[in-house]
Amino acid sequence: DVEIGPYVVIDGPVRIGNRVTLMPHVHIRGHTEIGDDCVIHPFAAIGGAPQDYSFTGERSFCRIGPRTVIREGATIHRGTAPESSTQVGADCLLMAYAHVAHNCSVGDHVTMINSAGLAGHVHVGDYAVLGGRVLVHQFVRIGEHTLIGGAAGLAQDAVPFMMYVKRNQCFGVNRDGLRKRGFRDEEIVELKMLHRQLLRRAADIRREAAELAGKVRTQPGRRLIDFILAGSKRGICMGRRHEDRTEEMQGP
């Protein structure tokens, strides 16, 4: 029940799940696994060698979760270190010319809009949305339910549930996206409080997050605190220092 179009190249120990559609000119290489019900559009290249000078041909992996759609010209490379892997979760949409580099971990329900690119070792949480031509530095973490505006650049970690519209700058809570996914008003209100206290004002974000840890009451608030306390190789994207009165007037 797998559909393989003309001029498709499957090269190496590739494993393809049930009901997968490979449109013409798809190229899949190496130790790559494609989950059930995936649809891969023309000229996508999956499982190729990483763009990393340290790679010398060791066995590594690329794994794509079920029901993921990969559009035209998108590229996903396998891991660099021996036995390491690049992973894309279930129900993702990678639009045309999106790029996922070696050793990235992309969660479930993630959307990468046209030409969005992840450098190596990037972690993307569930339900994140990366706008067109977003560029993400290696080793950056992007939290769950984040919205990264088109052409933004991230060289530091993006805290969960927030919006990022400029380079390394947190704009505020992703309210519309959270409401669409069923988040309650009290959860959004607490996330707004944490945004004000930690991402606008904090001089030492980890210390102040630890002080607030015992005061948060909602699960999203706890996940945000945990994300900050987990540590970072690149630092945390902070928000605007001035008060946004328009946002305050709009309410939760």
pLDDT digits (tens, 9 = 90+) for 12-58: 999 999 999 999 999 999 999 999 999 999 999 999 999 999 999 99
Give whole-number Cα distances, 19 to 1, 37, 38, 66, 177, in Å.
5, 5, 7, 10, 31
248/93 Cα distance (integer angstroms): 33
**184 SS3 class:** coil
Share of the chain above pLDDT 90, in %: 91
> Mean pLDDT in the chain?
94
Band (166; pLDDT cuts 50, 70, 90)? confident
- Rounded Cα distance, 159 and 123, in Å: 12
Instruction: Report pLDDT for 231.
Output: 87
* Residue-level pLDDT at 248: 42
Amino acid at 38: C
From residue 115, how far is each of 16, 48, 65, 111, 197 by CA, in Å? 25, 18, 21, 12, 34
Contacts of 218 by beta carbon, 8 Å cutoff, 6+ apart: 184, 186, 187, 190, 191
pLDDT for res 239: 83
Mean pLDDT on 107-114? 98
**pLDDT tens digits, residue range 90-104?**
999 999 999 999 999
pLDDT tens profile 56-69: 999 999 999 999 99
Count CB neighbours of 59 within 10 A. 12
Task: For 201-234, write each residue's pLDDT tens digit.
Answer: 889 999 999 999 999 999 999 999 999 999 899 9
pLDDT at 241: 54
Looking at the chain, how many residues does it have? Answer: 252
The pTM (predicted TM-score) of the whole model is 0.93
